Amino acid sequence: MVDSRSTDRTAQVARAAGAEVVSQDAMTRGLPRLAGKGDALWAGLAAAEGDVVAFVDADLREFRPHFVTGLLGPLLTDPGVQFVKGFYHRPLVGATSVEPDGGGRVTELMARPLLNLFWPELAGFVQPLAGEYAGRREVLERVPFVTGYGVETAMLIDLLELVGLDALAQVDLGERKHRHQDTAALGRMSAQIMLTAWSRLQRRGWAAPGVAPTALLTQFRRGGSEALPNLDREIVVSDVSVQERPPLAQMRQRLPRRRVAAA
């Protein structure tokens, strides 16, 4: 498990449950300090030792082993498959009700249209942002990892270009419930995904090189002590910039295979 700067007892609890815990910061010590999910996954890949590596979000409710074994199936049975994405029904679990397929809000409102418009080859992925996926290490180490929440979007686009659509697969994992973030958080997530897509459009020559969109997102929070009198809202400006960890294959000599977090 990658301890991604948790501020609670996550690492201790995971270790007590038998997990081997690696620290995101320990794995990247000596490198520029980056943040977010993509940096944590890159650290996890650096720490892992298998020829096949699976990633699973830590906020799943009702986790089942098939969330991992299901991902491995195609990789273990078809040498032509290099990467496998999970898909599932995604209920949106509210305080008093459940909307059967209401989850995946960023997927349905932004990521799916975005990918369909500019990378229609990827339109067949049911859950392009799914946090459960697996791949062959030799392939995963050849793509950069975008930090923050752009990691899944960049990985799909980069792997499409690197190994081709026929090497990408998806498996039905049934239903996935997870801890939902609020709409403002998903707005920041969406902005990171858009910036990630912009960088891939620039690489493809579909967006002007050298044009850098702003990486500041302004949002409004109702009420609050800092609310402006004529607005009844606080203005919240967030840095939604994303960076990249280079392909791990280029960095391997600078990183040990594993730095297990100190007890």
Ligand X SMILES: O=c1ccn([C@@H]2O[C@H](COP(=O)(O)OP(=O)(O)O)[C@@H](O)[C@H]2O)c(=O)[nH]1
What are the angstrom distances between the C-alpha of 24 and each of 38, 39, 180?
10, 7, 23
168 binds, among ligand XDX, ligand X, none (CB under 5 to 8 A by kind): none
Q: Residue 99 interacts with ligand X (CB under 6 A)?
A: no
Q: Which is nearer to ligand X, 107 or 170 (CB)?
A: 107
Q: Which two tokens stand for residue 238?
A: 């967030």
Cβ at position 80, least distance to ligand XDX in Å: 26
Q: Which of 130, 129, 132 is CA-nearest to residue 115? A: 129
Residues that bind ligand XDX (CB under 6 A): 37, 57, 90, 92, 103-107, 129, 131, 149, 152, 178, 180-181, 186, 189
Q: Which of 183, 212, 187 is CA-nearest to residue 198? A: 212
What are the angstrom distances between the C-alpha of 191 and each of 180, 188, 234, 250?
17, 5, 20, 28
Cβ at position 71, least distance to ligand XDX in Å: 14
Residue with token string 């509210």: 94
Binding string, 45-64, against ligand X, x = CB under 6 A? ------------xxx-----
Residue with token string 């201790």: 12
104 binds, among ligand XDX, ligand X, none (CB under 5 to 8 A by kind): ligand XDX
Residue with token string 């960095």: 251
What's the CA gap between 78 and 69, in Å, rounded?
15
Q: Residue 131 interacts with ligand X (CB under 6 A)?
A: yes
Q: Which is nearer to ligand XDX, 80 or 94 (CB)?
A: 94
Three-class SS of residue 101? coil
58 binds, among ligand X, ligand XDX, none (CB under 5 to 8 A by kind): ligand X
Q: Which is nearer to ligand X, 2 or 122 (CB)?
A: 2
Q: Catalog residues that contact ligand X under the rule CB under 6 A.
A: 2, 4, 36-37, 40, 57-59, 131, 178-179, 181
